[in-house]
Structure 1
Amino acid sequence: MQKKYEEVVAWIKGEMHAGRLKQGDKLPSESVLQKQFSVSRQTVRRALAVLEEEKITRSIRGSGTYIEIRRKQKQETMRIAVMCTYLDIYIFPLIVKEMEKVISDAGYTLQIAATNNAIEKERMILKSFIKDKSIDGLIAETTKSGIPNPNLALYQELEQMGIPVIFINSFYKELRIPHVSLNDKMAGKMVTQHLLDCGHMKIAGIFKADDGQGHARYAGYVEALMEADIKVKGKQIIWIDSDELEGMREDCGRILRRIRNCTACVCYNDEVANKLVGICMEQGIRIPEDLSIAGIDNSDLARFCEIPFTSAENPIRELGKVAGEKILERIRGNEGVESVELKPKLIMRNSVKVITNI
């Protein structure tokens, strides 16, 4: 005669076989399963323990129990791929350099690819990894993570093949894959709070619309303003996408109209801040006398800009090191690898005016 807990186990396996429960899906709660099968909580927990022992499910404290992605065994190639949006500009070279140290010390070689932040290129690269089966793991910087992405199933396919993935800088919310990034909301809030502390109340913002980092940094900006009881005004916010970032100077008319009457501006990152500094200088807008500017990342652009500007530091060396360590953990079979979000630190320069008479 089938035991009660075995009925629960059999039902869950049957739902998976029928396709009603898929990899990554969350199981009904313990209380729901209790009522459904008219059994005790202890019986449900025993059933869940059996499923976890068989590596069919995985429980996450405070979240629930999920159908596990079951990886096939594969022969190691001793190669790890790093797929970034861009490789030779901005903060990416230092991130990759730190990854390479960790990965090469473990005996792996690094294979580097760039998507140029294009979904089509990301798809092509992922398909080549799947076809060639030539890597043991993938560290991937997400491509336009703020908008729907048709390539998510390819990441899942890699995981099912036994090729684990770690995301860096941002992540796809639809996938239960660990990521290593800056705490972007905290960074957005930090620079906004600094401007508030310096007496600014009319603070504009420029954020990227097509990646998750832009959304998170905007959320921090909004939170700081709301906590200061300052109304968030849509007309003072400029949303740009990756392509528009390159043409910011050509779009200076729209940008200047939006930030008119503001005394300060929070910029999505140092690249945006650097371009805004250039626009202001061309238009005779003094920094910080007429407009205070703050960026995020504390890159060379912030330090060596014609007017060096305040920025929230992104600990990119640590980010690269941690990402390298995390992918090695996953390759070695550690299924408990958690996401890491690193804390920013404010680096102050002379781009922010202190307003004494408000």
Structure 2
Amino acid sequence: MPKSRARLKDIADATGFSANTVSLALRDSPRIPEETRAAIRAEARRLNYLPNSVAQSLVSRRTRTVGLLLTDITNPILTQAARALERELADRGYSLMLAASDNVLEKEIRALDVFRARQVDGILVYPASHRRLDHIRPLRDADHPLILLVADPDAGMDVVTVDDRRGAAKATRHLLDLGHRRIGFLDAAHPLGNREKLEGYVAALAEAGVEADPALIVDPGGHGATEGHRALAGMMQAGPRPTALFATNDSLAIGALRWCVENRLRIPQDLAIVGYDDTEGAAFAAVPITTVHYAVDSVARLAVERLMILIGSPDRLPEPEVRLIDPELVVRDSTRPAVPKRRRQAAALLRK
């Protein structure tokens, strides 16, 4: 038979203080002297006391829990985002409830229903499709605190995210500035309706007077290194080869890099590669990969700050705000021009 849980009364009996004093002390009330608070906390730990969160939520009408809906829990940048959001919420006394949709709309709808049934105080969402939001808008319309973590400024909801259009344009412009005109594009997101990176890529090409070649825009059929490896193989066999590649996440870029190593292509001489997200794998790849930095900590901080405002709104939610973070391009060896041998030898002599 499970051991019965300790109650406030048990702590009161053990310390000689009233139940009200014990309750205030455990809530760290300044009305109770610090010495008394310390003694009560010590006894609570000894008795393995845990507050009754269900009872507290009935009184406060808050569960101090936030739901986070991801598309793919194996995606490295989303894993980082979940960790950063959990830290920001914990600093404010909130717990995180996590769900993943696997980019399936029906699973996304079920996860949101679970969040509502559990009466979370707020919801943070990476939706599978940035344009199919009719199942999410009713939550905002009902004044449920909710923030989208993707860029749809016209969604009519609060948005906090990295500006993927600008990020993709920066990546493409970097390759154009290096003289590339045949730039391959690997993106599994735009078939889902998530077109921000594609739009940035096409816009940068247009600014340079380069027409986008449909043969170079490839859906790899997934977001992992395996799909990047397979997609680049197909692109290289299909027709005139690209001289550069922009992959819309680092995993795709790492897979493409692996194909180049296996086929003895030099990076960046034979193919320059740019990824997206700035994950640890990109920095430590066989050839460190140029990438667009996804500002995980900034997204987490701004999203949680805004969510706390929404949760604290007494009546109607305030008008939605859109925060787009301008991403930084991190240039590494996968796009740096190789230094000729004579220049390397001369530099070595100078160092001596």
Q: Tell me the TM-score normalized by structure 1.
A: 0.70
RMSD: 2.6
Residue 81 to residue 313, structure 1, CA distance change in 2 (3 Å): same
Once residues 322 and 258 of structure 1 are traced to their aligned partners in structure 2, the CA distance between those partners, rounded to angstroms, is 44
The runs of 5 or more residues in structure 2 that have no matched partner are 1-59, 340-352
**Is this contact kept in 1: 2:166–2:326, CA < 8 A?**
yes
The CA distance in 2 between the partners of 1:337 and 1:161, in whole Å, is 13
Counterpart position of 2:85: 99
- Residue of structure 1 equivalent to 2:247: 267
How much does 1:239 deviate? 2.6
Deviation at 1:103, TM superposition (A): 1.9
Q: 1:299 maps to what in 2?
A: 279
Partners of 2:68 and 2:230 in 1: CA distance: 33
Contact 1:142 1:170 in 2 (8 A): no
Give the drift of 1:255. 2.4
Rounded to whole Å, the distance in 1 between the matches of 2:176 and 2:207 is 11
Question: Paired residue for 2:218, among 233, 238, 243?
Answer: 238
Instruction: Report the CA distance between 1:331 and its aligned residue.
Output: 1.1
> What residue identity is the alignment partner of 1:163?
H
Aligned in 2, Cα 1:256/1:337: closer, same or farther, shift over 3 Å? same
Taking a change above 3 Å as real, the CA distance of residues 345 and 352 of structure 1, as seen in their structure-2 partners, is same
SS in 2 for 1:242: coil
Partner of 1:225: 205
Residues 87/235 of structure 1: CA separation in 2 closer, same or farther (3 Å cut) = closer
Which amino acid is the alignment partner of residue 321 of structure 2? E
Shift of 1:100: 2.1
Shift of 1:227: 1.3
Of 165, 173, 176, the residue aligned with 1:185 is 165
- Quick one: distance in 1 between partners of 2:302 and 2:62? 22
Q: 1:353 to 1:107 in 2, by over 3 A?
A: closer
The answer to whether 1:195 aligns with 2:175 is yes
Pick closer, same or farther for the CA change 1:241–1:177 going to 2, 3 Å: farther
User: 1:202 Cα shift?
Assistant: 2.1
Match of 2:325 among 296, 318, 342: 342
Quick one: which of 291, 299, 316 aligns to 2:296? 316
Give the direction of change, closer, same or farther, for the CA distance of 1:115–1:78 in structure 2 (3 Å limit): same
Q: What's the offset of the Cα at 1:244?
A: 8.3
Distance 1:172 1:143 in 2: 16
Q: Tell me the amino acid that sits aligned with residue 332 of structure 2.
A: R
TM-score, structure 2 normalization: 0.71
CA distance in 1, matches of 2:239, 2:288: 20
Q: Could you tell me how far 1:251 is from its partner in structure 2?
A: 4.7
Distance 1:318 1:111 in 2: 21
User: Which residue of structure 2 aligns with residue 136 of structure 1?
Assistant: 121
1:277 aligned to which of 249, 257, 260: 257
Paired positions, count: 276
For residues 301 and 61 of structure 2, the distance between their equivalents in structure 1, rounded to whole angstroms, comes to 25
Aligned-pair identity (%): 25
- Distance verdict in 2 for CA 1:217–1:259, change over 3 Å: farther
Residue 166 of structure 1 corresponds to which residue in structure 2?
147
Distance in 2 (CA, whole Å) between partners of 1:144 and 1:88 is 18
Bigger Rg, structure 1 or 2: 2
